[in-house]
Amino acid sequence: MLTLYHFVQSTCSIKVRLLLAEKKLTWQNKMLASSDHHHLSDWYLKLNPNGVVPTLLDENLPIFESTSILEYLEDKYTQTTFRPYDHYLRSQMRAFLVFVDVWPTPAVRIPSFQFGGLLKKFSAMSDKKFFNLINKRPLKADFYLSFDKNTGFKQQQIFDSFAVISRTVKRMDEMLKKFGGPWLMGDDYTLADMAVLPLIDRMQDLGLDELWIKQYPTISKWLHDAQKRPASRQSYVQGSRLSEQFPDIVRGPGSLSAWTDNYFKDRKAKL
């Protein structure tokens, strides 16, 4: 029996939900609310010492780190496969999975917190509670110390995160051209697509899609095709998109174009 501990809106959790749905696996739904902070309680830290979601339980064995969960499901549940057969292509796909974990995954957190309605939650919290919760975080304390709980991130931190997303869509555009599309590794939809889809979807939902619209039309087409897969629709349950949770703050495609325009001007002036 598979059990998934996750948050509805967490991009790393959606990544795992996508593969579970693509593989048509049944699983027990243990949805936690990020605001309850159960992911920082002793019982959860025994399952996932990093104090983050997602965690998959297979029978009683806890598996954590979303990319490692994807590979586990691929290794164990082989009815349908989402990795290339060719060893070289498989290595290319894995290189992209590492890239996604190292670069865009942390970068997308910055606009998600800044523009995604989360600051409202933190500014309503007392300083004491906020810093107490930071102290409990095994891995992410430094991230929470890198912004002001009332005003968020500095403009330069936000622009730096946009630069990483620009680098990501450039890399994806190169892959779509090199392997011929329609998916990142070519004909077949793979873990590479599922790893990055929640991040690009998040950027679009926040209103930052102008980072790629003009320069990389390939990304818009890829995103549209990936979003309309039945497994994607199934995985994006109500509340997965921040515009559904905070409709007065998160306004969807194009809505933060003033920010992307300023970012492009800043980049042009520097390079």
Residues 54-113 that bind ligand GSH (CB under 6 A): 54, 65-66
Check binding of 11 to ligand GSH (CB under 6 A): yes
Closest CA to 42 of 139, 145, 142, 138: 138
Tell the smallest beta-carbon distance from residue 26 to ligand GSH (Å).
22
Return the residues of window 130-159 that contact ligand GSH according to CB under 6 A. 137, 140
β-strand partners of 56: 4, 63
Smaller CB distance to ligand GSH: residue 23 or 121? 121
Site string for ligand GSH, 44-63 (x = CB under 6 A): --------xxx---------
For residue 33, the number of C-alpha atoms closer than 13 Å in the C-beta half-sphere is: 4
Report which of 63, 68, 47, 48 is spatially closest to residue 2, judged by C-alpha positions.
Answer: 63
CA 211 to chain centre: 17
Residue from 4, 12, 19, 172 touching ligand GSH (CB under 6 A): that is 12
Between CA 69 and CA 15 the distance in angstroms is 10
In this structure, which amino acid lies at residue 245? Q
Spatial separation of the C-alpha atoms in residues 160 and 156, rounded to whole Å? 6
Minimal distance in Å, beta carbon 262 to ligand GSH? 27
Q: Which is nearer to ligand GSH, 173 or 193 (CB)?
A: 193
Q: Which residues lie near ligand GSH (CB under 6 A)?
A: 7, 10-12, 39, 52-54, 65-66, 137, 140
